[in-house]
Amino acid sequence: MGHTLQLGPLVLPWAFIVFLAGYFAATWLCGWLARRQGLKAEFHSWATALIGLAAARLAFVVQYASAYAGNPLSIIDIRDGGWEPVAGLVAIGVYALALWIWHHAAAKAVTAGVVAFAAIWLGAGGLLTALSPRNAQLPEFQAVALDASTLSLPSLKGQPVVVNLWATWCPPCRREMPALLAAQKAHPDVRFLWVNQGEKPEAVLRYIQQIGLSPSDVLMDTEEGLGRMLQQRALPTTLFFNAEGRQVAIRSGELSHATLAQHMEQIARTR
């Protein structure tokens, strides 16, 4: 099973689907128990969700504070996918505990909701991990780069590799490009490849000349074969492989300097 659910043109990360399922299940259970006590729990449902999300985001931002220092407003741009779920779970647990300490009438209902959410999040997360492909390797893909050289991905085994599926018409692809270029400069031992999906070389060449991207690092996949091979329709999608050629992380959606740093650490830990 991949890490996203694809419904026609709609691509949703399984983590987001699990979060929504857990939230709605927890809200229903909390509300049902509260109504049996003659209480209203809508405020606590919203408060718990907001506290958990804020804590998960804040913990991630603190961990990668240097990456956000140059553009503090990017902290609120949650499109980069920067979260620390454990911090969020701890925060909502503390909220429920505080209600017990204050002898709040809704403590039992809120606690039940928190437990339900944690069970769904952890249980589904474990199941998705178990069903995800194990030991995925650099795909058997070969293409021509914009400098007319031919490159086979398996031939890169022996060094860490970052593969970015992108297109010039894709706004998130353009927005994340500075972060990828900065990471390429900061990690000369890692091979970065941009595999263009479905465009003509002329348009791609004009764009990379504007941003200073080397033609040798851009592979042309005019038939979008790599995207189909990996079952990834979302753009941008970035895959991270360690020096042994094993995939250690994948990100569908825009990367920030912080989330990219997080994935680069995953490559380093498995080297």
Q: What is the structure's pLDDT at 1?
A: 45
DSSP codes, 89-120: HHHHHHHHHHHHHTT-TTHHHHHHHHHHHHHH
- Domain 142-269, architecture per CATH: 3-Layer(aba) Sandwich (3.40)
* pLDDT-based confidence at residue 163 (cuts at 50, 70, 90): very high
Number of DSSP helices (H) and strands (E) in the chain, helices first? 9, 9
Contact (CB, 8 A) for 11 and 4? yes
Q: What is the structure's pLDDT at 191?
A: 96
The beta-carbon contacts of 138-143 under 8 Å, at least 24 apart in sequence, are 138/241, 138/245, 138/247, 139/226, 139/229, 139/230, 141/225, 141/226, 141/229, 143/195, 143/219, 143/220, 143/221, 143/226
pLDDT digits (tens, 9 = 90+) for 83-102: 999 999 999 999 999 999 99
| The pLDDT of residue 135 is above 70 | no
pLDDT digits (tens, 9 = 90+) for 168-192: 999 999 999 999 999 999 999 999 9
Q: What is the structure's pLDDT at 136?
A: 83
Q: What is the structure's pLDDT at 268?
A: 77
Domain boundaries, the chain: 4-131, 142-269
Mean pLDDT rounded to a whole number for the chain: 91
d(Cα 184, Cα 268) in Å, to the nearest integer?
A: 14
pLDDT digits (tens, 9 = 90+) for 216-234: 999 999 998 998 888 888 8
| The pLDDT of residue 270 is above 60 | no
Mean pLDDT calculated for residue range 145-151: 95
pTM of the predicted protein model: 0.86
| The pLDDT of residue 200 is above 50 | yes
